[in-house]
Structure 1
Amino acid sequence: MVDRQARERVRGQERAAEQLLEQGEYAPLELLIRLGRLGYADYEAWRRGDGEPLASRLRGNPERIAALLEGAAAYCRARCLEYVADTWTAWGAPDQRLQLAHDPQWQERLAGRYRVPATRTQLDLFEDAGATVLERDAAAALSREAPDAAEQAVAALAERCPDHPRLGAYQRLATGLHRPACIDDLPAYLDAVLEELEPAATEVLGAGARDFLTPHWRALTDALAAQPFDSGWPQLHASYTAARAADWEAVHAAVLAEPGWGRHPVLIERLLEAARHRGDRDGALAAAARLCWDHPEDAERVLPGDERLGPAWQAFSDSDPVLATADFPAWCLLFRGWRLPAIEAETVTHAEALDTARAADAVVAARQDASADEGAARRRLQARRPELLEQYLALRAVPRR
């Protein structure tokens, strides 16, 4: 457990660095949403004032989540970043304060943000104070989707500081609050979100950009429901926009609804990511298996960085003798004790790899069932991949301490 917590602290440091690079600030709730420790739907329910404190909605081992957040905060403090204490209120009810946690330690872990200290290159402190207030008003109105208030605040900012460096971003976002009832030109709308709204939201809202952009991603997901996948434009698909909205059930459904989805490695990658966020180990292994069997180069690119399967991939890569990428699913069964999820043979291009995985699964099943004939299962694996059986038997022969 200690080793796992230490790994989570390192992971928190790495993720805080990524978030600072992308958004100019580290926000713990954004980190938890990104890693699937906080479902966006659960976050939305909390922001609407629905029920329990946020900490009770987190997914996963509390000690490991605590280590993750503590590592991220320590990274920020070591770099003397500016701490900003947030006050959370319900959407549509600014007087309703929201509770992050009952426990004071969890309250501290979740409460604030760290950001790179602002530099003043154009305005002195007193001249800038009014603009700062107007910026804060504009950002708050944008985050709670209040078009009239946002337009008023942005207009006031333009009048007071027409040369403000972020004025253009605020103006684009104020316009972006008016979403069309019907999207006539899907590619143009997607381009506008990617090229105009997302950069502007990241620039002025930081981690709050997610709340502003999610309604756009959802509108696109609905509009793309019947759009077939185009490998020339992989973002123009409901699985992509649903992922940007952190709606992992919708990602899963959109990929599986696509005829011949197994031919497209990018769709399998999205299925793998969705499985990780859904806490579906079987789904993750099934998606990884398809990558390994039908798209090995993509598997070798994706799996080392996968948070669930990455450690297993590293151990697999260090095996002696070196095994083929297609052997990774069977290796996971033998050396991690996992079981093979249901995979239809007709959906797999390389049936022999599936046969090997099934043979490995039979060995694991026999090992767990004292009445089964493990010898027969081993002979079946020997006939398919003797290298795998050799490594398995070598490991079993090592005495346990």
Structure 2
Amino acid sequence: MTLTYDDAVALDLADPLAAYRDEFLLGDDPVAYLDGNSLGRPPRRTLERVESLLRHEWGQRLIRSWEDGWLDLPEQVGDRLAEACLGAAAGQTVIAESTSVNLFKALHAACGLREGRTEVVASDADFPTDRYLVESVAAARGMTVRWLSPDVVEGVSRAELNDVLSERTAVVLLSHVDYRSGVLLDMAAVTEQVHAVGAVVIWDLCHSAGVIPLELDALGVDLAVGCTYKYLNAGPGAPAFVYVAERHLGAVSQPITGWWSSSDRFAMGPSYEADRSIRAMLSGTAYVPGIVAVDASVSLVAEAGIKAIREKAVALTEHCVALADAWLVPHGFTIASPRDPARRGGHVTVQGPRAREVADAMYAAKVIPDFRNPDMIRLGLSPLTTSYAELWTALDLTRQIVEGGSIES
């Protein structure tokens, strides 16, 4: 039976995470925000923390705030994020730069761990930045790229991966959650499969950090990168994170050798010597406002608990699939996401011939989804901010759009 609006309200009243909506700036515009998997809403505590930084730490303490604590922020906040979201012990994660820059560093570092091997494996369906960087790093190092071409809904299969893995494989880069369909790969199985041929695995966690429990240490992951402005709600362009397993620290080297990754950053010596800790993955001066925004936002995830967040994500996406089946599929749309919630991240994608037109009409009705070429509408369901009633309202308005009826606002 299809969820009713009264059902949705009842679910919200029983939701153990419902109170966290009050931790965010919501307002009444838009009517429904289903794009938290691209840009999360602003937490109130993040705004307060950044304002305090600007007014007091910078405004009053000025440069003395570096010694007061700014110098250690990349590692300290990295440790907090690792504990709350990544299943990783301290000393293996830092907050720095963008996902793209961190992935560039991680690819070079991983290839360096397997000198003499000549191939990098990646998916030709992955996010553009991942593909572009794989190509550029492979070209710079004289390596060959072996491309996987996975089904959009099923994702990379073990058989496909097995076909390209060999003793020539140095690095495998894959997204834990596909940015289009939301398909969730089996991190344990893939990591084990990559390690079986002696290669190194890098995971892109942009669409899983903050919404799916991760166990990087327990699963033996080598390196990982991810952004903080989706489910972690740290703000547009907030600094990203990079994880390097402790067993690789001291052996990894990366090409952007700035003073913050040197063994003694204030020695100002004539030559570069890399730090042997996770600070080796840093480059230039830390962007303090961005890192404190990450810190404040991660504290919300830590308080709510990643397991509870995942449980609500599963419930929201299940109801989303059911409503889309009842209201959109009869009008020519298909569900372009796995139907098994265990294989699905925090968003649901619907696909159809009128997707661009429907997405534009949703925007006009103040329902904010995310369109992906050529014909996909992503419905991002961020558990700390998306209510069941909001989801129901969004799908009901979308139903009216595809049926060609009038929209009541």
**What is the TM-score normalised by the length of structure 2?**
0.21
Q: In terms of Rg, which structure is larger? A: 1
Q: Which structure exhibits the higher relative contact order, with contacts defined as CA atoms closer than 8 Å and separated by 6 or more residues? A: 2
Higher relative helix content: 1
**What is the TM-score normalised by the length of structure 1?**
0.22
